[in-house]
Amino acid sequence: MVLRGDGLGETMTEKMLEDGLLYGLRMPGSYKSLEEESIRTIEDGLKRFPKAMELFRVLQSDAETNTLLNLANFLAVRKLGYNDHGPIHAKICAANGIRILQVLLEAGDVKLDSIDGLGMSEEDAHLIVMAACLLHDIGNAVHRDLHEIFSVMYANALLNRLLADIYSDESRRTEVISQILHALYAHDKGENALTMEAAIVVVADGADITKGRGRLSFDLGKHDIHSISALSIESVDIRKGETKPIEIHVTMSSSAGIYQVQETLGKKVMTSPLKDHVEIVADLVPSEKRAERRILDRMVFSDGKYTST
């Protein structure tokens, strides 16, 4: 799976997306294609697991879930100028998580806590990773500070409501919810992840660094190393590695992208239980054919803020 960002020169679409309350946010047009590709990846990864597929489809249509994800974007993007933390980021993260889980299961080198520790099935593991990835940022609907705790609070009630018809066994349902909630609590800091499933969510979240995600804050006027570096990431490909079980290959159009690789993705990998199983490779291409892509020509600081031309 290769996720690519939107065209650098592309402006925000005039038509608001019809899949949720966007509170005035206009998404980059081809960022929508990232969402569609992510949904295909998730559905392909879950096609053998009816319980996990059912929960994914329920979460996709659940009004509470979608409203929380869009409210998360309202505070994170509109009020704080951060990159996307809404429904598209959630689906990209879930696709990343499913892909990482699949590679680990195929390699067989890493034991999953849900399976080897708690006696669960591969289906349970897929459901846990998918749900945790989709719900990890809903706590931003309350505040960015302590958002992982708010995510746990929201998700506990939400999952008890939605999983009652999927897991009739109350003990197993409680175990599954507990594992999801742990991943939500641990997703922001890799050192908090005590299970391999939580570690997968940590890395899957960090791997969403494509420039479609950064376009939101850039077009809303935040021109700093976070948005500039995000606009330098062309694609992220999660695949079976040659020297480690997982290789995350990042393609950059500008050297500024190294900030995203080191400070966002790298830090998440480095502090998680997956650190010994992941290799990150970042290439600047096509460097032999043209100069690095310029994102802005000039920056001015005036009246307490930076502007670019």
pLDDT in tens, 18-61: 433 556 666 666 667 888 999 999 999 999 999 999 999 999 99
Structure tokens at 266: 């790298």
How many percent of the chain have pLDDT more than 70? 79
Residue 181: pLDDT band (50, 70, 90) is very high
> Is 15 domain-assigned?
no
In a domain, 20, yes or no: no
Within-domain flag for 309: no
Q: Band the pLDDT of 155: cuts 50, 70, 90.
A: very high
Is there a domain that residue 290 lies in?
yes
Q: Does residue 305 register a pLDDT over 70? A: no
Q: Where does the pLDDT of residue 226 fall: very low under 50, low under 70, confident under 90, or very high at 90 and above?
A: confident
Domain count, the chain: 1
Query: What average pLDDT does the segment 185-192 reach?
Result: 92
Establish if 307 belongs to a structural domain. Answer: no
Q: Is the pLDDT of residue 306 over 60?
A: no
Is residue 274 assigned to a domain?
Answer: yes
Q: Would you place residue 16 in the very low, low, confident or very high pLDDT band (cuts 50, 70, 90)?
A: very low
Q: What is the pLDDT of residue 222?
A: 65
Query: Per-residue pLDDT averaged across 265-290, rounded?
Result: 85
Q: Could you tell me the residue range of the domain that residue 238 belongs to?
A: 2-6+26-299
232: confidence class by pLDDT, cuts 50, 70, 90: confident
Per-residue pLDDT at 77: 84
Q: What's the pLDDT score for residue 196?
A: 97
pLDDT tens figures, 72-93: 988 988 888 787 888 999 999 9
Cis preceding-peptide flag for 245 (omega within 30 of 0): no
Per-residue model confidence (pLDDT) at position 215: 63
pLDDT score, position 17? 40
Let me know if residue 16 belongs to a domain.
no
Provide the pLDDT for residue 220.
58
CA angle 98, 100, 104 (to 5 degrees): 115
The two structure tokens encoding residue 184: 């939500």
Q: What is the pLDDT of residue 233?
A: 86
Share the mean pLDDT of the chain. 85
The whole-number pLDDT of residue 125 equals: 98
More confident site: 137 or 17: 137
DSSP collapsed to 3 states, the chain: CEEECCCCCCCECCCCCCCCCCCCCCCECCHHHHHHHHHHHHHHHHCCCHHHHHHHHHHHHCHHHHHHHHHHHHHHHHHCCCCCCCHHHHHHHHHHHHHHHHHHHHHCCCCCHHHHHCCCCHHHHHHHHHHHHHHCCHHHHCCCCCHHHHHHHHHHHHHHHHCCCCCCCHHHHHHHHHHHHHHHHHCCCHHHCCCHHHHHHHHHHHCCCCHHHHHHHHHCCCCCHHHHHHCCEEEEEEEECCCCCEEEEEEECCHHHHHHHHHHHHHHHHCCCCHHHEEEEEEECCCCCCCCCCCCCCEEEECCEEEEC
Higher pLDDT, 285 or 294: 285
What pLDDT sits at residue 214? 58
Q: Establish if 21 belongs to a structural domain.
A: no
pLDDT class of 205 with cuts at 50, 70, 90: very high
pTM: 0.85
pLDDT value at residue 229? 81
Please compute the mean of the pLDDT values over residues 140-169 and round it to a whole number: 97
For the chain, the residue count is 309
